[in-house]
């Protein structure tokens, strides 16, 4: 009989605010169950971030995911962060190495891996809509894969800032009318199309036929209006759920040091999202 949790159960979790909607517990706990690892993953709704990070050390929590709004602010409370987290300017994963808190970022890897399942990225011309935190993580990952990047954002000054960082070009959203035909891949990193505004779309749908691949990082709903319209026009589509899954898989493998049960984690995720 399974006697977990018990006095030797390892604790993992997510810190964010709010976190009640997080799908991370479902994914990580399903992996622990399948691999018979004596560990549990919990959600911590945190407003006092410094106290929560001290609590990780004090309680011996083994690993933590970090989500909105703490991904940038958490950096100052960690002992060490890696080069990728420095470049992205955000940490979404903390590893507790015998009391030393090490921060890294797996969001970029989630986005890149979801794309690479479908298309080789080197020299591909990619439009990224949005210039926020997730756009920054994805852009840096794509730059390292040798992609050619254009940032289109509602606030053009932010598009410019990100384009400078990843050696790409930039524009507002309206300019997409003229330039879309030059690109292979479109990625939406804005919340446009997310419940309850699931009838909204960030780009004129007729432009979608210019792209081979369209990815939306919004995952609620899974099949956004953008992806429906792209599929109608013959594009390959990638859901935000894939990015969510692959960033979690990278976290799990960093914490547990063994391969994650991808299929089971995906099944748990799909079941939870209905
Ligand atoms: N699938 C995943 O694993 C995953 C991971 C992270 C995030 N996400 C999702 O990605 C989305 C963005 O997250 P984030 O952390 O990058 O947010 P963020 O840092 O707040 O950035 C949001 C971006 O979207 C733009 N934007 C917002 N509302 C817009 C609108 N009505 N029309 C046009 N542009 C708009 C903003 O433009 P301005 O600069 O003009 O304000 C900004 O560039 C969220 O829906 C989040 O749930 C998914």
Q: Report yes or no on 66 lying in a domain.
A: yes
Shared domain check, 42 and 94: yes
- Ligand 1 center from residue 265 Cα (angstroms): 25
Q: Give the domain range for residue 35.
A: 10-105+243-273
For residue 43, the domain's CATH number is 3.40.50.10860
* Tens digits of residue pLDDT in 34-50: 999 999 999 999 999 99
Angstrom distances, CA of residue 99 to CA of 63, 80, 118, 256? 11, 12, 40, 16
Per-residue pLDDT tens digits for 229-263: 999 999 999 999 999 999 999 999 999 999 999 99
Looking at the DSSP bridge assignments, the partners of residue 142 are none
| Predicted confidence (pLDDT) at residue 1 exceeds the cutoff of 90 | no
CA dist 167 and 260 (Å) reads: 34
The 8-class DSSP code of residue 4 comes to -
pLDDT confidence of residue 4? 82
Q: What is the mean pLDDT of the chain?
A: 97
The pLDDT tens digits for 50-88 are 999 999 999 999 999 999 999 999 999 999 999 999 999
Q: Are residues 78 and 116 in the same domain?
A: no
Residues 223 and 122 in one domain: yes
Q: Among 89, 112, 130, 194, which residue has the most ligand 1 atoms within 8 Å of its CB, making it the best to mutate?
A: 130
Among the residue ranges 1-15, 45-59, 75-89, 196-210, the one predicted with the least confidence is 1-15
Number of domains, the chain: 2
pLDDT value, residue 274:
83
Residues 175 and 233 occupy one common structural domain: yes
Whether residue 202 is found in the same domain as residue 86: no
Q: Measured between alpha carbons, how far is 190 from 232 in angstroms, rounded to an integer?
A: 21
Same-domain status, 221 and 114: yes
Ligand 1 center from residue 191 Cα (angstroms) = 5
Q: Is 176 within a domain? A: yes
The answer to whether residue 18 is domain-embedded is yes
The verdict on residue 3 lying in a domain is: no
- Whether residues 259 and 229 share a domain: the answer is no
114 and 226 both lie in a single domain: yes
CATH number at residue 155: 3.40.50.720
Question: Average of pLDDT values for 161-184?
Answer: 96
Instruction: Write down the H helix ranges in the chain.
Output: 24-34, 49-59, 83-88, 107-116, 133-144, 156-166, 176-179, 225-232, 240-256, 262-273
Examine the domain organization and report whether 80 and 168 are in the same domain. no
Ligand 1 centroid – CA 8 distance (Å):
40
- pLDDT tens digits, 105-118: 999 999 999 999 99
Judge whether 4 lies within some domain.
Answer: no
Sorting pLDDT into bands at 50, 70 and 90, what band is 152? very high
**Ligand 1 — pocket residues by CB below 6 A?**
107, 110, 130-135, 153-155, 158, 189-192, 194, 202, 217-219, 240, 243-244, 247
Is residue 2 in a domain? no
């Amino acid at each position: 009989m399974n006697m977990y949790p018990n006095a030797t159960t390892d604790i993992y979790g997510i810190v964010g605010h709010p976190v009640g909607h997080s799908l991370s517990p479902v994914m990580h706990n399903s992996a622990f169950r399948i691999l018979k690892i004596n560990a549990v993953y919990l959600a911590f709704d945190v407003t006092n971030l410094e106290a929560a990070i001290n609590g990780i050390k004090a309680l011996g929590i083994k690993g933590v995911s970090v989500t909105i709004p703490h991904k940038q602010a958490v950096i100052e409370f960690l002992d060490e962060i890696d080069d990728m987290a420095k470049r992205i300017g955000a940490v979404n994963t903390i590893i507790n190495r015998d009391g030393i808190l090490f921060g890294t970022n797996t969001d970029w890897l989630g986005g890149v891996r979801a794309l690479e399942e479908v298309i080789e990225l080197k020299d591909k011309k990619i439009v990224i809509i949005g210039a926020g935190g997730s756009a920054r993580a994805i852009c840096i990952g794509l730059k390292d894969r040798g992609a050619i990047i254009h940032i289109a954002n509602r606030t053009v000054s932010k598009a410019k800032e990100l384009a400078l960082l990843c050696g790409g070009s930039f524009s507002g959203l309206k300019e997409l009318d003229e330039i879309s035909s030059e690109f292979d891949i479109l990625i939406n990193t804005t919340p446009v199309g997310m419940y309850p505004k699931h009838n909204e779309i960030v780009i004129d749908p007729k432009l979608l036929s210019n792209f081979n691949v369209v990815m939306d990082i919004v995952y609620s709903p899974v099949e956004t209006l953008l992806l429906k319209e792209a599929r109608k026009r013959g594009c390959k589509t990638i859901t935000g759920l894939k990015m969510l899954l692959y960033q979690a898989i990278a976290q799990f493998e960093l914490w547990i040091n063994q391969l994650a049960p991808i299929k089971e984690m995906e099944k748990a995720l799909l079941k939870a999202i209905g």
